[in-house]
Each structure stands twice: as C-alpha cells, then as structure tokens.
C-alpha cells in the first residue's frame, strides 16, 4: 500500500489538485471562486498530461542538426514532446474559457451587483 | 468539380468568414449578413459535394491536413455516418441564419449584430469540425470552439441569461475536461490520437483497467455535452433564456452533434464486444436513457413556458437516440441515426415557431396563446406539423425513427425500453394536444364577440417573410424526410453501421 | 387470385385530400363553392371506389404501392372484397351526409364551417385509406389520420364539455394506437412481413405466448376504436359533437374502421385456423358477448336520444366482432353483411335525431311524444331503421341477423344464439317505445307545432331508409354487398 502511494506520488498529487478544483466548482457559492475552481481543475488536468511525457534520464526534445546526420535518434533519450504540444492547445482553450467566464462575471456583476450565487437566484426569482 | 479539399474547406470557410465578419463589422454593418449567408451557402455546397462524392465512391474520403499522414497528422474522414449529419447541419445553419436576420434585428441593438454573427459562424465551424474530424483530440478542440460560442451567444439573451450561461460554462467545462482526460488515457495507453488507428490498437488492451477508466471518462464527458439524463440540468435554463435567433441554431444542433460523437466513439473507436459483452456499458446507457426519457417527458408536461417544454423535449429525444444505440443491433442503430437527423429538423422547426410566437405575442406561456391561429395561421400550421412529427404520426419523419427504435428494442428483448418509447409517445401527444387545444379551441367565453358567429377570413401571418419561410421549409423537410426515409436508410445509414452488427 | 395494378386506390384517397385543401383555400368567403368542393370530392371518391368494384367481384385484388419503406415493406394499397365493403359504405354515405351536413349547418348557422368540412374530408380520407390498406403499416397511418382529423370535429362546439369529450377521445384512441404500434412491431419482428393475407400471416411463427400477447394488444388497440367494453367510454361522450359527425363518423366511419381493423386482424393477420389453436379465444368471445348484452341494457336506461343510439352502436359493433369471432362461414358472412346494413340503418336513426333537434331543440327521449304527427317522414324513416336493427323484415337488418344466428347455431354454442336473440329483444325494448310515443301519444300541448325539417335534411334520411328496405329485397343492389361478403368468405377458404 505504501509502495503504491510512493511510486505513483505524482498521480496522487494531480488527483488531489483536480478534486480541489472540482470541490471549488461544486461547493463554493461565490461565482469568482467557482471560476477559480474551474481553472484549478483545468490546469491540474493539463499538468497531469504534461507529466506523462517525462522519461527517466531523458533530455529536452531538441535534436542538434549534426547529430541527426551521424547516427539514429534514440527516442528514449528525449522526453515525449507530443503531450506538451497537445497541452499548449488545451492551455489556449483554458485561457479562452477563463476570458469568456470573466466577461460573463462582469455582466452578472453589472446586472445584479453581487457575485454570490444564492443572491443572484433570489434576484432572478423576483 | 473536384471535391478533394472540401473536407478542409467546410471547416475553414466559416472560421475565416467569422474573422472577416468581425473586421467588416467595424466599418460597415450592412455587409455582415450577406457574408454570413455567403459562407453558409458555400458550406452547403461543400457538404452536398462531399455527399455526392461519398455516395459515388462508396468508400470514406480521407483528407490529411497539411499532407501529414496519420497517425502523426490530423485526418478528416467523411464517411456515410457523418456526411448525412454534415448535410443536415449545413441546411439547418443556413435556414437559421436566414431566420435570424429579422429576429436578431428585433432582439439586439444594431451595434451587436456583427458580434452575434461572428459567434454564429464560430459555432458553425465547431459543429462542422466535430462532425468531420477523425482525430480525438482535434474533436476536443472543436468541441470547445463550439461550446465557447454557445456560452457567449446564450449570454446575449434575456434577463438571467448571463447567469445561465455561466452555469452552463461550469458544467460544460467539466464535461470537456472529462473528455480530455479520457482522450489522455487513450493516448497514454496507445500513443495515438487517430480514430482509425485507435481502433486497430485498442483491442489488445481491452482487459486493461486504465482503458475502462478512460472509456468511462469519455462517456461522462460526452453525456454532459449531449445533455443525457441526469447531467442535462444545464440545458433548460440556458436554451430557454437564450435569444430566439440563437436557440434556433443551438437547440437542434449542439446536443445532436454530441450524440454523433457518442456513436462515433462506440462504432469507430471501440468495437462492440468491448461495451456489450466485456463491460455492460450499453445496457447501463440504455437504462439511464430510458429513465431520462420518462423523466423529461413528465417534466415537459409540467411546464407552462413553451420554450422550456421544448428544452425538456430535447432531453427526451436524446434519450431515444441513446436507447437505440444501447440496443446494439442493426435495427436499433438505424433508428438512432435516423432519429438523430429527424430530430435536428423537428427541433429546428419547433424552435423557429416558438421564436415567431414569442416575437408576435410577447409571451411564451401556453395558457396565454389563445386563438393564436387566427392571427398566425401558417405559423401554427407549421407548429402542428412539428408536433405530429414528434408524436410520431406517419407519414412524417418521426414515425419511422420510432418504428426502428421499437423494432431494435424488441430484437434486443428489452421490453422496458419498448414500453418507454411507446409511453413517451403518449406523453408527447398529451403535451402537444394541450397546446393545440389552447390555440385552436380555447374555451368559448374567451372568444371576442365579433369572432363568435363567423370566422375571420384567412390572412397571411404578420411576421417577416424571412422568419416564416425558413419555418415553412423546415416543416416541408419533415414531410420529405418521412417519405424519403427509405432512401436515407439504404444509401446512408445502413452503410454507416459496421458489418459486425 | 389475379392481381391488378391500378392507381385507383390512390385516387380514391387523394380525392378527399384535394377536397380538403380546396375547402380550406375557399374558406368562408364563398360558402356555396366550398360546399360544392365537398360534394365534388365525395362524388369523386365514390366513383373511384365504385370503379374498383367489378375487378374485385371477379376475384382479383387491386394493388398499388406508394413508397417503399424498408426492403419489402411499403405503403401500399391492396383492395380486396372485405376492403371494398367498408370503402363503398364510407364513400357513399359521405355523399349523403354531406348533403345532410349542408342543410344542418346552414339551418343552425354553426360557426367554423370551413374547419368542419375540411376535417370531415380528411376523416373520410382516413376511413377509405383504412379500408384500402394493404398492410398494417398503411392501415396504421390512415388510422392515425382518422383519429387526428376527427378530433376537431368532436370538440367543434368548444364548450368545456366538448373539450372534455375531446380529451377523453384522444386519450382512448392514442393509447390504443400505442398498443397497435407495439403489436405491429412484434408481428413484423416474428414474421418479417406486415401484409394482409387471407388466412393469416402468423401461422407457424413465434411461440403461443407471444402470439397471445400480440392478439391481446391488438384487441386492446383496435378495440378501443371499435368501442369494445371496457374501452367504450369515449363514444357516448363524443355524442356531444354535432349530429352529422355522430351520424357518419361515430356510427359509421370511425367505429366501423375500428371493427374493420379488428376483423382484419382476426381474419387476415392471424387467420381462423391459428386462432382456433390459441385458447385465449374463448375468453375473448365471452367478453364480446358481454358487451353486446351490457351495452343494450345500458341503452335502455339512457334518456338522451343520441347516447341511447351510441350504446346501441356499441352493442351492434360487438355483434359484428362476435360474428367474426365465431369463425365459421355463416357467422362471418353475417358479420360482414352487418357492417354496411347496420351503417345505413344507424345513420338513418342519427339523422332523424338530428332533424328532430333541428326543428324542436329536443334531445331527450321523454320529450318526443307526438312528434310523429308533426314530422311524419322523419319518424317513418326512424321506424324503418328501428325495425331493421331489431331484425324484422322487410328491412335489411333481418338478412344479417339471420346469418349471424345460423352461424351461432352451427358453432354448437347455443349461448351465442341466445345472445343474438336477447339483443334483438332489447333493441326492440328501447327503440319501439320511441316510435310508439312519437305516433300514438299526444304531444305536449304547450309546445308549438313544428313541420317537417328542410329538404336538404329529409331527403338524405329518407334515402337511407329506402335503401334499408331495398337491401332486403335485393342485397346486391348497386353495391353488391352480398356478393362481396360471399367473396370474402370464399377467399377465407370455407366455400360459399
């Protein structure tokens, strides 16, 4: 059991972060806190992905030009760049989401004067 | 005409057009609408060209973006499954755009129109992209493009719309991130993101628990996006409070494209033994969907707001599609795919009519719609056509998809699903005849004296032609789809279902 | 059995559809033109149906396929002798009731006449479509069209009572439609086809359990439209509709369509041979005979004339089903003959009640004393039709009752013979007092004397009463009902 926790410690870290973000989104009353929870949720998933590209004893994935001509490239020497690339896209998506969310929060604040969810629901019922 | 680049053009055209509309909108707002119509007409031509090419060829078309071969590059695949949906999206998007011209002019100040159209085109880009892509991560990106535009467009609506859009955003992001996690698990296990490639690589890994986790995450994400019970709660508020010109685009298309993603994952990425015999995912989906159908049908009856009722009806129809998918036999899948296409048109028709009614009568409350058939005869006739299609009266299209769904459930020996489908037809009858009664046969006391003893002559509806004609076209499509359902099935749908079924 | 391919069935169904569209377009501005469209469409439909009579009498079957739905299933028409009986009945009576409706609506200056005539045309399209349908799918489509187009006719008056009746109508019939859809799906699933064939298509397919379930679901589904007890409640409530609607639709077209479909299922989907093997049969027979007697007894207690006639209709329909259920040649012949004969007689009774309401405003039986002196033609027609229902010659009801009783006797179950005779007695018990009171009692002296109803109303009811007598002397008059019934029995392989 301890060995299970120790060898996969990074995954536990990501899962705890994801759940923290999830908790923020679900439980918190203030819309800004929900947004922050959403951000934590998204970035921790991205963190999880980036971590899967890591390899033991590998270096950054930039191939020197004269190196290619002389010998074959051993993939095990370079960390996997593909998750990084994919996660760049995901980060952009996350940034766009945050942007739209902030715009929505500004409109909501202008309309209702508050960012507390229960107060907004009360205001809407009237 | 060579259709080689059409797969890419159909996604790129609305994307670039949206930027051009935004730029042009800075200078002269009058050019925005023609640009939108031009872009969507071009997309319709591309979709028609692709359909002709697929029907001629018989084989799927593969398009490699940037000429990078899969699995390194992103691939767009047009096969019998998605070409029909591409056509449907193109037709409905064009009709909705025509519809939105006068509707949006009423709902928004002139200054906001370029922004609306920009988002509109981005949404259409996302929808086309989701349908045509053959790469699971590319699907995530385009799914998010579609979702963002939806969030922003919904927020432009009535009082409470921004809040509803925010809640939709929170929920939708959970769904999209869950989908991304699922895709990530698939990548970790196989190293590939291409759907066809995954189909080859995954069977060796079917016993792996990580794959089960990834599959479940995928399903949860897709379920949230397509508003399957019980994660549908974002839908009623957001689609009801959205502006009419926006909901006529979103309501028919977004959730159905989500259902298409489910079918694509289950048919093209995973093989049937994985989710029928190895893990009971198909029966579980079926039971959830059946519960959703009944729940949504009952809740729809409880609504007095016409648009909210239609939103619950969307959840009900998605339930049908998932029941068809879960029966995992050829008849059920035929029913599911046919219902997907039919429901796009049915919902577009009904939401268009609701928009016209709201603009004219300034109310969406069913009990205040008395005698509307005197002032809006054609609109209400279109509504009755849509209602009969949803109930499932032949020869309208809804009957045929329900027929196949019932046959599929009988073949799968799932008698409860048969009961659910038939019971919900009855509930839909109650739902719509309630409204038809209020409109056509209101209680006698409420008829004003001058109408009591003679009928008013027929006058065309005092609504702009730009709204009436798309609604009438959609009603005609309902009838045509009914008569041509056999052609749709033999030429598209039966070839879309893999031979193993 | 030769098959003829001809688009005549399609024309027979398109005639009322085009009539409905033309009526809608003409609207209220030119009522005479609108009425002309109704009559033209009715006559056109009658002509097309009649044109199909001679090939069918020679034993061939007219087929016409519309649109293929899935591999071998299509929307198709298949006109055989059984369908011809119902089609001839509906289309001819539409002509008669159209004339009656015109007179009735104009005398009462009813509202929403365009909607009325348009929906009437659509309903007749549904009825004749049901008659001419070649498989369960087409039958179901026209059945649904019939239900939906008659809904505005039931709620025509738009009073709360009418709306309640309309809701009840819709709920009963749409629930029935759901059961039919389920049974259709099962039939298609176990046998791969939905076409009708004399002698049934289900022999040898499927286990007895599933066949019994399908049969029960069909009976519930079609039985709700045929007003079998306990699914009959919508029919007396629907009497709140206008009299021409009650006359044609609820005595002839809608409920007869239900009975027609029940007989189709019994004779052409299941087939007599298969049914004898399923032992749920006896239970069904007893339920139906219970309906015959119970409906007649309830009719005795009704004071509202139209409700009394409604329960009488329920009883007669159950008799038709009972005759077919007895599964021998004579009773089937009697049942099939009773379909048109009862139609003519019942429509006479309803039209008379409408004429009385028109002139005096009276709806209750107890108020009808002495009306015969003032409206002799109307009450004479009423008496002829009443005599026919009881089964007294020289009205045509005698012929059909005769065959039904012979068939009951041959089935060696004397209970059913008793049922038929008791129902005749009960018919007399609630119809003859009306006749007696009308002619031989003094009318209430405070009421003003009325005269005969307008010509447009009296001529149709006199015509149908005349036909009721003529059919006794020559059951093949014009429509060849007797020969058609013979053809049906022959095709079911029992020999004439």
- Cβ of C67 within 8 Å of Cβ of B407? The answer is no
Residue C495's pLDDT is what? 38
Round to whole Å and give the CA distance between B412 and B405.
11
- Cβ of A45 within 8 Å of Cβ of B180? The answer is yes
Q: How many helices (H) and strands (E) in chain C? A: 21, 3
What tokens were used for C445? 């002296």
Contacts of B159 in chain A (CB under 8 A): 111, 124
Round to whole Å and give the CA distance between C444 and C369.
7
- Cβ of B422 within 8 Å of Cβ of C182? The answer is yes
Contact criterion met (CB below 8 Å) for C117 and C1 = no
What tokens were used for B1? 């005409």
Q: Which of B155, B176, B193 shows the shortest C-beta gap to A107? A: B155
Contacts of B297 in chain C (CB under 8 A): none
- Cβ of C181 within 8 Å of Cβ of B423? The answer is no
Residue B1's pLDDT is what? 57
| CA-to-CA dists, residue B184 to B72, B177, B213, C167, angstroms | 16, 10, 11, 54
- Cβ of C140 within 8 Å of Cβ of B426? The answer is no
Across the range A78-95, mean pLDDT stands at 91
Sign, Cα dihedral of B220, A95, B132, B481:
positive
Task: List the subunits that have 3+ CB pairs under 8 angstroms with C.
Answer: B
Contacts of C175 in chain B (CB under 8 A): 426
- Cβ of B455 within 8 Å of Cβ of C140? The answer is no
What tokens were used for B276? 């029928």
Contacts of C109 in chain B (CB under 8 A): 453
How many angstroms away from the CA of B123 is the closest CA of chain A?
A: 15
User: Please, is B429 exposed, middle or buried when counting C-beta atoms within 10 Å of its C-beta (0-12, 13-18, 19+)?
Assistant: buried
Chain B interface with A: residues with Cβ < 8 Å: 137, 140-141, 144, 148, 151-152, 155, 159-160, 162-163, 165-166, 169-170, 173-174, 176-177, 180-181, 184, 187-188, 193
Phi and psi, residue B447, nearest 5°: -80, 125
Neighbours of A114 (CB within 10 A): 15
At how many degrees (to 10) do helices C281-301 and C305-325 cross?
A: 160
pLDDT in tens, C386-433: 888 888 887 888 888 888 888 888 877 788 888 888 888 888 888 888
**pLDDT tens for chain B, residues 1 to 501:** 577 889 999 999 999 999 999 999 888 888 899 999 999 999 999 999 999 999 888 888 888 888 888 878 899 999 998 999 999 999 999 999 999 988 888 888 888 889 999 999 999 999 999 999 999 999 999 999 999 999 999 999 888 899 999 999 999 999 999 999 999 999 999 988 999 999 999 999 988 899 999 999 999 999 999 999 899 999 999 999 999 999 999 999 999 999 999 999 999 999 888 888 888 899 999 999 999 999 999 999 999 899 999 999 999 999 999 999 999 899 999 999 999 999 999 999 999 999 999 988 888 888 888 878 888 888 999 999 999 999 998 889 999 999 999 999 998 988 899 999 999 999 999 999 888 888 888 766 555 554 544 555 666 778 888 888 999 999 999 999 988 888 888 888 888 888 877
- Cβ of A42 within 8 Å of Cβ of B177? The answer is yes
Instruction: Please enumerate in sequence order all residues whose Cβ is within 8 A of that of B480, keeping only pairs 6 or more positions apart, or say none.
Output: none
- Cβ of A48 within 8 Å of Cβ of B184? The answer is yes
Q: Which of B423, B426, B486 shows the shortest C-beta gap to C70? A: B486
Adjacency order of strands within the sheet including C3-5: C3-5, C61-70, C73-79
Round to whole Å and give the CA distance between B467 and B356.
7
Contacts of B418 in chain C (CB under 8 A): 182, 185
Round to whole Å and give the CA distance between C201 and B131.
44
Round to whole Å and give the CA distance between C292 and C192.
36
Where are the domains positioned within chain B?
Answer: 287-501
Residue B427's pLDDT is what? 93
Q: Which of C140, C144, C170 shows the shortest C-beta gap to B433? A: C170
Work out how many CB contacts closer than 8 A connect A with B.
69
- Cβ of A108 within 8 Å of Cβ of B166? The answer is yes
Residue C453 pLDDT greater than 90, yes or no: no
Residue C496 pLDDT greater than 50, yes or no: no
Q: Name which residue leads in pLDDT, C363 or A108.
A: A108
Residue burial B48-61, b: 16+ Cβ < 10 Å; e: rest: bbbbebbeeeeebb
| CA-to-CA dists, residue B61 to B53, B54, B79, B271, B286, angstroms | 8, 7, 6, 21, 32
pLDDT in tens, B301-344: 999 899 999 999 999 999 999 999 999 899 999 999 999 999 99
Q: Strand C61-70 relative to strand C73-79: parallel, antiparallel, unpaired?
A: antiparallel
Round to whole Å and give the CA distance between A66 and C143.
82
Round to whole Å and give the CA distance between C400 and C380.
22
Fold for A2-56+72-125, please state it.
Helix Hairpins (1.10.287)
Contact criterion met (CB below 8 Å) for B169 and A97 = yes
- Cβ of C171 within 8 Å of Cβ of B453? The answer is no
- Mean pLDDT rounded to a whole number for chain C: 84
Contact criterion met (CB below 8 Å) for A79 and A53 = yes
How many angstroms away from the CA of B163 is the closest CA of chain A?
A: 6
Round to whole Å and give the CA distance between B494 and B485.
12
CA nearest C383: which of C460, C297, C462, C296?
Answer: C462
- Cβ of C178 within 8 Å of Cβ of B406? The answer is no
Across the range C331-335, mean pLDDT stands at 87
Contacts of B177 in chain A (CB under 8 A): 41-42, 45
- Cβ of B170 within 8 Å of Cβ of A25? The answer is yes
Across the range A79-98, mean pLDDT stands at 92
- Cβ of B148 within 8 Å of Cβ of A120? The answer is no
pLDDT in tens, C82-130: 888 899 988 888 888 888 888 888 887 777 788 888 888 999 999 999 9
Residue C372's pLDDT is what? 79
Round to whole Å and give the CA distance between C306 and B148.
63
Q: Which of B426, B441, B486 shows the shortest C-beta gap to C158? A: B441
Round to whole Å and give the CA distance between A31 and A27.
10
What tokens were used for C328? 């021998």
User: What is the percent of chain C where pLDDT is above 70?
Assistant: 97
Contacts of C188 in chain B (CB under 8 A): 407
Contacts of A103 in chain B (CB under 8 A): 152, 155
Where are the domains positioned within chain A?
Answer: 2-56+72-125
| CA-to-CA dists, residue B495 to B50, B54, B129, C197, angstroms | 16, 11, 22, 33
Task: List the subunits that have 3+ CB pairs under 8 angstroms with B.
Answer: A, C
Residue C70's pLDDT is what? 67
What tokens were used for B470? 């798309």
- Cβ of B169 within 8 Å of Cβ of A104? The answer is yes
How many angstroms away from the CA of B54 is the closest CA of chain A?
A: 31
Q: Which of B422, B440, B486 shows the shortest C-beta gap to C68? A: B486
How many angstroms away from the CA of B232 is the closest CA of chain A?
A: 16
User: Please, is C402 exposed, middle or buried when counting C-beta atoms within 10 Å of its C-beta (0-12, 13-18, 19+)?
Assistant: middle
How many angstroms away from the CA of B375 is the closest CA of chain A?
A: 32
Q: Which of A45, A83, A101 shows the shortest C-beta gap to B169? A: A101
Contacts of A49 in chain B (CB under 8 A): 184
Read off the pTM: 0.89
CA nearest C130: which of C296, C262, C289, C8?
Answer: C262
Chains C and A touch (3+ CB pairs under 8 A): no
Peptide bond into B71 cis (omega under 30): yes
- Cβ of B184 within 8 Å of Cβ of A104? The answer is no
Contacts of B160 in chain A (CB under 8 A): 124
Work out how many CB contacts closer than 8 A connect B with C.
87
Residue C10's pLDDT is what? 87
Task: List the subunits that have 3+ CB pairs under 8 angstroms with A.
Answer: B
ipTM for the assembly = 0.92
């Amino acid at each position: 059991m301890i060995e299970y926790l120790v060898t996969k410690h990074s995954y536990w870290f990501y899962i705890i972060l994801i759940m923290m973000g999830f908790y923020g989104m679900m439980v918190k009353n203030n819309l800004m806190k929900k947004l922050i929870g959403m951000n934590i949720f998204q970035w921790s998933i991205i963190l999880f992905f980036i971590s899967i590209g890591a390899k033991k004893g590998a270096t950054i994935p930039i191939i020197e030009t004269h190196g290619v001509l002389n010998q074959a490239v051993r993939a095990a020497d370079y960390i996997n760049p593909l998750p990084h690339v994919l996660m760049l896209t995901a980060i952009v998506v996350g940034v766009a989401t945050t942007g739209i969310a902030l715009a929505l929060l500004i409109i909501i604040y202008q309309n209702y004067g508050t960012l507390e969810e229960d107060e907004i629901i009360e205001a809407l019922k009237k | 005409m060579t259709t080689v680049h059409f797969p890419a053009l159909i996604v790129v055209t609305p994307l670039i057009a949206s930027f051009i509309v935004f730029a042009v909108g800075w200078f002269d707002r009058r050019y925005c609408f023609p640009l939108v119509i031009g872009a969507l007409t071009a997309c319709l031509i591309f979709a028609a060209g692709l359909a002709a090419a697929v029907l001629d060829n018989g084989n799927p078309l593969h398009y490699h973006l940037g000429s990078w071969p899969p699995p390194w590059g992103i691939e767009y695949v047009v096969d019998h499954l998605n070409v029909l949906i591409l056509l449907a999206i193109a037709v409905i998007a064009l009709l909705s755009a025509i519809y939105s011209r006068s509707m949006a002019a009423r709902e928004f100040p002139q200054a906001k129109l370029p922004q609306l159209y920009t988002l509109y085109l981005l949404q259409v880009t996302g929808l086309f992209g989701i349908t045509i892509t053959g790469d699971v991560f590319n699907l995530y990106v385009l799914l998010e493009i579609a979702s963002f535009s939806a969030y922003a467009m919904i927020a432009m609506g009535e009082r409470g719309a921004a809040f509803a859009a925010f809640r939709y955003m929170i929920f939708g992001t959970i769904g999209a991130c869950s989908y991304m996690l699922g895709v990530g698990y698939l990548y970790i296990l196989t190293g590939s993101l291409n759907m066809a490639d995954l189909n080859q690589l995954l069977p060796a890994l079917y016993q792996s628990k990580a794959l089960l986790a990834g599959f479940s995450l995928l399903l949860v994400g897709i379920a949230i996006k397509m508003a399957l019970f019980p994660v549908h709660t974002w839908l009623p508020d957001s689609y009801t409070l959205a502006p009419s010109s926006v909901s006529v685009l979103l309501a028919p298309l977004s959730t159905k494209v989500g259902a298409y993603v489910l079918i694509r994952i289950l048919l093209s990425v995973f093989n049937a033994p994985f989710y029928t015999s190895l893990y009971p995912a198909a029966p579980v989906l079926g039971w959830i969907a059946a519960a959703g159908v009944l729940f949504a049908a009952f809740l729809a009856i409880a609504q007095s707001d016409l648009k909210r009722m239609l939103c619950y009806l969307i959840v009900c129809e998605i339930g049908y599609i998932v029941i068809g998918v879960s029966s995992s036999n050829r008849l059920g899948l035929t029913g599911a795919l046919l219902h997907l296409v039919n429901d796009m048109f049915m919902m577009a028709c009904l939401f268009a009519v609701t928009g016209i009614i709201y603009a004219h009568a300034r109310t969406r409350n069913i009990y205040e719609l008395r005698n509307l058939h005197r002032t809006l005869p054609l609109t209400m006739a279109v509504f009755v056509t849509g209602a009969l299609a949803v109930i499932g009266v032949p020869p309208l299209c809804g009957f045929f998809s329900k027929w196949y769904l019932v046959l599929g459930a009988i073949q799968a020996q799932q008698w409860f699903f048969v009961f659910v489908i038939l019971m919900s037809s009855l509930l839909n009858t109650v739902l719509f005849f309630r409204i038809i009664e209020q409109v056509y046969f209101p209680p006698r006391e409420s008829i004003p004296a001058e109408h009591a003893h003679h009928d008013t002559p027929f006058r065309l509806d005092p609504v702009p032609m730009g709204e009436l004609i798309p609604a009438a076209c959609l009603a005609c499509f309902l009838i045509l789809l009914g008569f041509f359902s056999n052609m749709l099935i033999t030429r598209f749908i039966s070839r879309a279902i893999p031979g193993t079924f | 059995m030769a098959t003829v391919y001809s688009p005549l069935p399609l024309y027979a169904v398109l005639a009322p559809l085009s009539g409905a569209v033309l009526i809608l377009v003409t609207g209220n501005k030119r009522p005479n033109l609108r009425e002309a469209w109704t009559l033209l469409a009715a006559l056109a439909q009658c002509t097309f149906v009649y044109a199909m009579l001679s090939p069918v009498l020679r034993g061939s079957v007219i087929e016409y396929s519309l649109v293929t739905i899935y591999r071998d299933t299509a929307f198709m028409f298949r006109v055989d002798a059984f369908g011809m009986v119902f089609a001839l009945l509906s289309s001819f009576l539409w002509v008669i009731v159209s004339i009656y409706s015109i007179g009735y609506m104009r005398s009462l200056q009813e509202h929403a006449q365009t909607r009325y005539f348009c929906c009437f045309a659509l309903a007749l399209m549904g009825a004749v479509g049901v008659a001419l349908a070649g498989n369960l799918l087409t039958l179901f489509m026209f059945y649904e069209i019939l239900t939906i187009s008659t809904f505005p006719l039931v709620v025509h008056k738009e009073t709360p009572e009418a709306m309640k009746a309309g809701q009840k109508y819709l709920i009963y019939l749409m629930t029935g439609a759901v059961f039919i859809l389920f049974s259709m799906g099962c039939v298609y699933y176990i046998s791969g086809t939905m076409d009708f064939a004399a002698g049934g298509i289900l022999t040898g397919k499927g286990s007895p359990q599933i066949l019994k379930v399908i049969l029960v679901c069909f009976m519930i589904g079609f039985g709700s439209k045929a007003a079998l007890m306990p699914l009959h409640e919508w029919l007396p409530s629907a009497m709140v509709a206008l009299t021409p609607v009650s006359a044609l639709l609820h005595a002839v077209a809608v409920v007869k369509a239900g009975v027609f479909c029940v007989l189709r299922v019994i004779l052409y989907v299941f087939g007599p041979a298969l049914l004898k093997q399923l032992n749920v049969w006896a239970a069904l027979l007893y339920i139906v005979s219970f309906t015959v007697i119970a409906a007649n007894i309830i009719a005795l207690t009704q004071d509202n004339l139209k409700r009394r006639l409604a329960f009488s209709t329920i009883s007669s329909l159950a008799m038709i089903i009972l005759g077919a259920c007895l599964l021998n040649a004579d009773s089937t012949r009697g049942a099939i003959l009773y379909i048109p004969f009862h139609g003519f007689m019942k429509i006479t009774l309803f039209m008379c009640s409408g004429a009385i309401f028109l002139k005096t405003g009276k709806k209750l039986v107890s108020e009808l004393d002495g009306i015969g002196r003032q409206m002799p033609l109307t009450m004479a027609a009423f008496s002829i039709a009443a005599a026919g229902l009881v089964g007294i010659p020289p009205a045509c009801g005698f012929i059909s009752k005769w065959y039904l009783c012979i068939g009951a006797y041959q089935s060696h179950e004397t209970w059913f013979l008793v049922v038929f005779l008791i129902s005749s007695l009960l018919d007399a018990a609630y119809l003859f007092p009306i006749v007696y009171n009308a002619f031989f009692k003094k009318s209430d002296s405070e009421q003003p004397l009325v005269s005969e109803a307008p010509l447009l109303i009296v001529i149709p009811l006199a015509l149908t009463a005349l036909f009721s007598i003529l059919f006794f002397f020559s059951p093949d008059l014009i429509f060849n009902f007797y020969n058609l019934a013979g053809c049906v029995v022959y095709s079911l392989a029992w020999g004439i």
